[in-house]
């Protein structure tokens, strides 16, 4: 079985390297021009955001409406650092301190609020992200409502690829670990999980902090590509944007989030000129998905190399896991 | 001192609006445990209905208020029937996401039809109304406009009427029964669906009234006007103890006063932040709210 997963892993590696090489080729041949590249950056940033929110909302079952807040912390931290230290080292430092700052705030906010359930938590996280936005709006160092300008651009396809794949890899590995299983058990039934001896608060906070960390990375990448930041970019609607991706892809499916992020990026590129129609479409999509297919596109399934997955499942069933 | 009294008067007007919206949140939450995100947009629709009644149909203020309340009640019932009823037994997170969807649909649907730019409410016409609403009193340095009195009076009338409906009528008794225990109420022969629809209608009518009053008071409406007041009204409902009707009133006035005083102290940029900070504090210290009782979760 170990062997099997190695083949599986090899295939995945080859697919990744191929994707990377093909896009790199297209960029150097200028088939992916600057406009398409900007769309691609949005897409990949959204993938990171959606996967990290999926960890909190889809896998751990804690409904968070404040993901844009964490993203903005990462974005501002990275921007402020790279504005002063405009080197590649500064950029990497910026990304990781942005992520760390987001994780720290996530911890401070999560510890008290994660005792709340469902809708109370949603409102508390929404309030938290509004407070973060208002703080950025009033701080001197972030230049208030006018925002930060001329942030040095470091993000290119290589960085984007590394961070996106890194995020997906780390979060999916986390979910396969015993900690991840504990998180999933909280989603399934919090009381039962507690009865089985799982420290639910600890795991909820853990998922929240990890989600915030990667949202911070996404924000940092965003800041470093688009030169420009202002607090209004990270309002309630941004959180909803991320939520739509997670819901459409399926709460509890990482590949679903990736697919949905790509799909929605394509749709919004087409609807660029009609932002109102885009929001109407988004809202209708939310309602219709929730009424007719609450599990989203993928449910909690993952896309994979199907045949290997089937064999793998066979093994798992023999071991008595359902 | 004068400044203080003036702020209190302004706070009462703002608080009345929040209280009217918070009543709808609290009733809906009490009966189906749902934060009805779309509620704040019903309030926005109410403001627009009032606007169109006054500008296009040239109806007086009070009739416009009544029409806005009726249309909003119908809208609330329709939202419940279309979006929430199919999800009666779904997980709460599903219904919550649907509510957010409905809210966005109303906001951007409205924006599609009336465009995003704000509109200013028409001046009050009609011989009687303009005389009543246009005037204002001054006591020393304190000014009370008739609009502020109107807002307070209408809020009091509506909340007393609401209290009567809930305490004295048969449908009110049914509402209380359903919010206590839905299954038991159903077994007692109460039509749960009708009761829930009625609750939505009642709450939405109040939100519609709040919308028209805000239009008269602040004179400017736009399709996204409901978002922030909606959230603050929700904070008010949580502050007073969600599901408890007097709690929503107390919370509404409290939040209104806090906001006015924070602005008055020169921190108007932070006033929204303060309200949300209050929310997080309440949720940490006493999640059941000011008037709420702690309930133990049963397995």
- Tell me the shortest Cα–Cα distance from B129 to chain A, in angstroms: 37
Q: What is the pTM of this model?
A: 0.85
3-state secondary structure of B145: strand
> Per-residue confidence at A315, pLDDT binned at 50, 70, 90?
very low
- Which residues 6+ apart lie within 8 Å of B74 measured at CB? B201
CB contact under 8 A, A290 and B238: no
User: Domain locations in chain A?
Assistant: 1-32, 37-236
Tens of pLDDT, residue by residue over A261-295, are 998 888 888 887 777 788 888 888 888 888 888 88
Give B277's contacts in chain A (Cβ within 8 Å): 127, 131
SS3 category, A154:
coil
CB B77 within 8 A of CB B201: yes
Quote the CA–CA distance of A236 and A259 in Å, as a whole number.
23
CB-nearest to A294 from B90, B111, B234 is B90
- Residues of chain A with Cβ-Cβ distance to B25 below 8 Å are none
Residue for token digits 């009739």? B63
> CA of A308 to nearest chain B CA: how many angstroms apart?
33
Instruction: Point out the residue among B101, B103, B283 whose CB comes nearest to the CB of A113.
Output: B283
Q: How many CB pairs under 8 A join A and B?
A: 116
pLDDT range class, residue B298, cuts 50, 70, 90: very low
Taking any CB pair shorter than 8 Å as contact, residues of chain A touching chain B are: 57, 61, 63, 109, 112-113, 116, 118-120, 122-124, 126-128, 130-131, 134-135, 137-138, 191, 236, 240, 243, 247, 276-277, 279-280, 282-287, 290-291, 294
Whether A218 has a pLDDT exceeding 90, the answer reads yes
Interface contact A287-B98, CB threshold 8 A: yes
The C-alpha angle A136, A139, A145, rounded to 5 degrees, equals 60
The whole-number pLDDT of residue A2 equals 47
What's A237-280 look like in SS3?
Answer: HHHHHHHHHHHHHCCCCHHHHHHHHHHHHHHHHHCCCCHHHHHH
Kindly determine whether residue B96 and residue A119, on different chains, have CB atoms separated by under 8 Å. Answer: yes
How many angstroms away from the CA of B61 is the closest CA of chain A?
A: 31
Place of tokens 């509109």: B119
Query: For the residues A222-244, what does the mean pLDDT come to?
Result: 88
Q: Are A73 and A100 in contact (CB under 8 A)?
A: no
- Contacts A294 to B, Cβ<8 Å: 90-91, 94
pLDDT bucket at A320, cuts 50 / 70 / 90: very low
pLDDT in tens, B46-91: 999 999 888 888 888 888 899 999 999 999 999 999 999 888 888 8
């Amino acid at each position: 079985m170990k062997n099997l997963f190695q083949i599986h892993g090899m295939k995945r590696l080859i697919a990744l390297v191929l994707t990377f090489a093909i896009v790199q080729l297209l960029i150097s041949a200028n088939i992916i021009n600057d406009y398409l590249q900007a769309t691609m950056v949005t897409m990949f940033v959204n993938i990171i955001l959606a996967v990290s929110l999926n960890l909190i909302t889809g896998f751990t079952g804690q409904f968070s409406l404040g993901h844009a807040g964490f993203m903005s912390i990462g974005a501002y931290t990275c921007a402020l650092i790279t504005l002063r230290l405009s080197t590649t080292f500064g950029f990497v430092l910026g990304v990781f301190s942005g992520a760390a700052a987001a994780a720290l705030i996530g911890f401070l906010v999560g510890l008290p609020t994660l005792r709340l359930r469902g809708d109370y938590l949603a409102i508390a996280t929404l309030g938290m992200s509004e407070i973060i936005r208002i703080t950025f709006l009033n701080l001197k160092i972030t230049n208030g409502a006018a925002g930060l300008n001329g942030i040095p651009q470091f993000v290119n396809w290589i960085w984007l690829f590394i961070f996106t794949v890194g995020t997906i890899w780390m979060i999916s590995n986390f979910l396969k670990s015993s900690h991840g299983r504990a998180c999933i058990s909280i989603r399934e039934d919090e009381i039962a999980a507690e009865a089985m001896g799982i420290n639910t608060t600890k795991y909820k906070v853990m998922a929240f902090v990890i989600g915030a960390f990667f949202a911070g990375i996404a924000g940092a990448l965003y800041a470093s590509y688009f030169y420009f930041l202002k607090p209004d970019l990270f309002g309630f609607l941004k959180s909803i944007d991320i939520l739509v991706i997670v819901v459409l892809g399926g709460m509890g499916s990482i590949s679903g989030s990736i697919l949905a992020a790509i799909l929605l990026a394509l749709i919004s590129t087409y609807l660029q000129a009609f932002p109102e129609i885009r929001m109407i479409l988004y809202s209708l999509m939310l309602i219709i998905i929730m009424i007719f297919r609450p599990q989203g596109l993928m449910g909690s399934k993952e896309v994979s190399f199907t045949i290997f997955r089937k064999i793998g499942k066979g093994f798992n069933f023999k071991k008595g896991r359902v | 001192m004068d400044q203080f009294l003036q702020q209190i008067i302004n706070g009462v007007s703002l608080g009345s609006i929040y209280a009217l919206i918070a009543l709808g949140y609290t009733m809906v939450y009490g009966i189906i445990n749902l934060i009805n995100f779309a509620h704040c947009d019903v309030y926005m629709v109410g403001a627009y209905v009032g606007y169109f009644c006054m500008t296009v149909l040239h109806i007086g203020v009070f009739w416009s208020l009544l029409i806005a309340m009726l249309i909003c009640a119908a809208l609330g019932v329709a939202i419940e029937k279309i979006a929430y009823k199919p999800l009666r037994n779904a997980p709460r997170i599903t219904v919550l996401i649907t509510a957010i969807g409905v809210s966005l649909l109303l906001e951007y649907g409205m924006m599609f039809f009336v465009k995003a730019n704000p509109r200013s409410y028409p001046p009050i016409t009609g011989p009687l109304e303009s005389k009543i609403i246009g005037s204002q009193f001054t006591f020393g340095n304190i000014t009370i406009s008739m609009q502020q009195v109107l807002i307070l009076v209408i809020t009091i009338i509506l909340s007393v009427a609401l209290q009567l409906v809930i305490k004295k009528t048969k449908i009110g008794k049914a509402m209380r029964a359903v919010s206590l225990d839905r299954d038991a109420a159903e077994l007692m022969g109460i039509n749960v669906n009708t009761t829930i629809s009625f609750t939505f209608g009642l709450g939405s009518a109040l939100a519609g009234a709040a919308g028209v009053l805000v239009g008269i008071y602040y004179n400017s409406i736009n399709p996204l006007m409901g978002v922030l007041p909606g959230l603050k009204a929700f904070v008010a409902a949580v502050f007073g103890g969600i599901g408890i009707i007097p709690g929503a009133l107390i919370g509404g006035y409290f939040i209104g006063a806090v906001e006015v005083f924070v602005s008055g102290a020169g921190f108007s940029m932070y006033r929204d932040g303060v309200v949300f900070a209050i929310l997080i504090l309440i949720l940490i210290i006493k999640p059941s709210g000011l008037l709420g009782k702690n309930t133990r979760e049963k397995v």
